Amino acid sequence: MKLTIIGTGYVGLVTGACFAEVGHQVVCVDNDAAKVKLLQEGGIPIYEPGLEELVKGNVAAGRLNFTTSTTEGVEKSDVIFIAVPTPPMADGSVDLSFIEKVAREIASAMTGYKIVVDKSTVPVRTGDKVTETIKRYCKARVEFDVVSNPEFLREGFAVEDLMKPDRIVIGVRSQRPVAAMKEIYAPFQAPVVVTDINSAELIKHASNSFLALKISYINALSIICDATGANVQEVANGMGMDARIGRRFLDASLGFGGSCFPKDLSAFIKIAEQMGYEFGLLKEVQRINAEQMNRFVKKIIDTLWVLKDKKIGVLGLAFKQNTDDVRMSPAIELCQRLQKEGAILRVHDPKAMEKSKALLKDVTYVDDMNEVAEGCDALVITTEWDEFKKLDLERVRKALSHPILFDGRNLFDRTEMERLGFIYKSIGR
């Protein structure tokens, strides 16, 4: 099918590349001319495993094209996906100005029936607003359908999540666009949920909030485990074997971050408030998450006492593994908190060092993860990169002035670390 994706951020670019990979003819539109040029020349603006090969291969095969012109994108396809950012505003509500602008642009360019699909994460009832806007600005008075089709990909696993989705959610007002939507997704062989637009929009906010709740739940349990000597991983394993609960997203950590969970939680709380409901449960999820970071910082201070002029090595800057994304990264927040206490930092991340430089100044960026500990009073692990599990621990212990390791992601076995001579502090174990 001929498909256009407006917005080439994480969601738009990966969606476009995967649609092309399964044989659709795809046009990706972005108003950033430099980005479009880079993509046309085979460059990739983000690090995402498997994406570069996918983009290059499909550009070469002629199935994936990039342009800055929304009009061209609308003319070339019958189905237009909106995948532009929906950033948070100061009060936690969602800034929908990009969605509104793109809806107007699509409306002005339409000369025949189009299906306009919203992929961006939006508040419930945005579909109604997009429909009204297109009606208002479409001079040609042609027919169209608005569809809600939220995306559930995780950064770092985006290609895998898109190619093998758990489910496809399609929110519609009438049956007319359903066949086309099903045809687009047929190659992905996933269960399809066809529902109304409001429910589809809610599924996205409800899912992300529930996953964040799962993390805050295990993080709250980690406090009980710390206090009692129980092991939070053992608790998570035992809970996770219950099929009704499941093991995933029960990894205690120094808190969740990224460009989705914090933003979507705030947005969902605000949406509920506007409907007259105070979503106290989700406010508690936020509170536990903030508290988890405070506790981790306190653990470091309790052990090292005064941080002023202490040298601390930090492994991990991205908000999670397999990405170079540092937006709302707990690792960056931790570094800034340690700097505020006067600590001197040596930091490393396998992919996120370049993007960190704008946020994290006056630190030493170290290329080799095994050299970060050199001359440090302690080492802190903040991101769950698989690479870190392969650290040369013997070398790290010798490099540290004091063999203290704070593991904010529970990557190592406590008994083994103590056997190797580390003073090892993790989360809830």
How far apart, in whole angstroms, are the C-alpha atoms of residue 75 and residue 113? Answer: 11
DSSP per residue over 176-228, as a string?
TTHHHHHHHHGGG---EEEEEHHHHHHHHHHHHHHHHHHHHHHHHHHHHHHHH
DSSP per residue over 21-33, as a string?
HTT-EEEEE-S-H
Longest dimension (CA), the chain: 74
Whose Cβ is closer to ligand UDX: residue 156's or residue 313's?
A: 156
How far apart, in whole angstroms, are the C-alpha atoms of residue 325 and residue 322? Answer: 9
Whose Cβ is closer to ligand UDX: residue 251's or residue 349's?
A: 251
Among 211, 265, 317, 372, binds ligand UDX (CB under 6 A): 211
Whose Cβ is closer to ligand UDX: residue 12's or residue 403's?
A: 12
DSSP reduced 3-state for 38: helix
How far apart, in whole angstroms, are the C-alpha atoms of residue 147 and residue 162? Answer: 18
**Could you tell me the strand order of the sheet in which 144-148 lies?**
64-67, 25-29, 2-6, 79-82, 114-118, 144-148, 168-172, 192-196
Show Cβ contacts of residue 121 under 8 Å, excluding neighbours closer than 6 positions. 86, 150, 151, 204, 205, 208, 260, 264, 267
How far apart, in whole angstroms, are the C-alpha atoms of residue 83 and residue 213? Answer: 26
Q: How far is the CB of 37 from ligand UDX (least distance, A)?
A: 27
Please provide the size of the chain in residues: 429
Give the phi and the psi of residue 196 in degrees, each rounded to 5.
-80, 165
Residue 152 contacts ligand UDX per CB under 6 A? yes
Q: How far is the CB of 238 from ligand UDX (least distance, A)?
A: 15
Residue 154 contacts ligand UDX per CB under 6 A? yes
Q: How far is the CB of 229 from ligand UDX (least distance, A)?
A: 22
The catalytic residue among 18, 260, 335, 376 is 260
Whose Cβ is closer to ligand UDX: residue 27's or residue 260's?
A: 260
- Which range, of 67-75, 246-254, 271-279, 364-372, touches ligand UDX by CB under 6 A? 246-254
Residue 261 contacts ligand UDX per CB under 6 A? yes
The site string for ligand UDX over 110-149 (x = CB under 6 A, - otherwise) reads ----------------------------------------
- Catalytic, 138? Answer no
Show Cβ contacts of residue 391 under 8 Å, excluding neighbours closer than 6 positions. 315, 369, 370
Residues 308-327 that bind ligand UDX (CB under 6 A): 319-320
- Which range, of 83-91, 221-229, 254-262, 345-353, touches ligand UDX by CB under 6 A? 254-262
Whether residue 9 contacts residue 36, with contact meaning beta carbons closer than 8 Å, is answered with: no
Whose Cβ is closer to ligand UDX: residue 1's or residue 192's?
A: 192
Other CB atoms within a 10 A radius of the CB of residue 192 amount to 15
Residue 155 contacts ligand UDX per CB under 6 A? yes
Residue 257 contacts ligand UDX per CB under 6 A? yes
Among 250, 314, 317, 338, binds ligand UDX (CB under 6 A): 250
Q: How far is the CB of 222 from ligand UDX (least distance, A)?
A: 11
- Which range, of 51-59, 69-77, 153-161, 176-184, touches ligand UDX by CB under 6 A? 153-161
Q: How far is the CB of 207 from ligand UDX (least distance, A)?
A: 7
Whether residue 21 contacts residue 58, with contact meaning beta carbons closer than 8 Å, is answered with: yes
The residues that touch ligand UDX, with contacts defined as CB under 6 A, are: 151-155, 208, 211, 215, 249-251, 253, 256-258, 260-261, 319-320
Residues with active-site annotation: 260
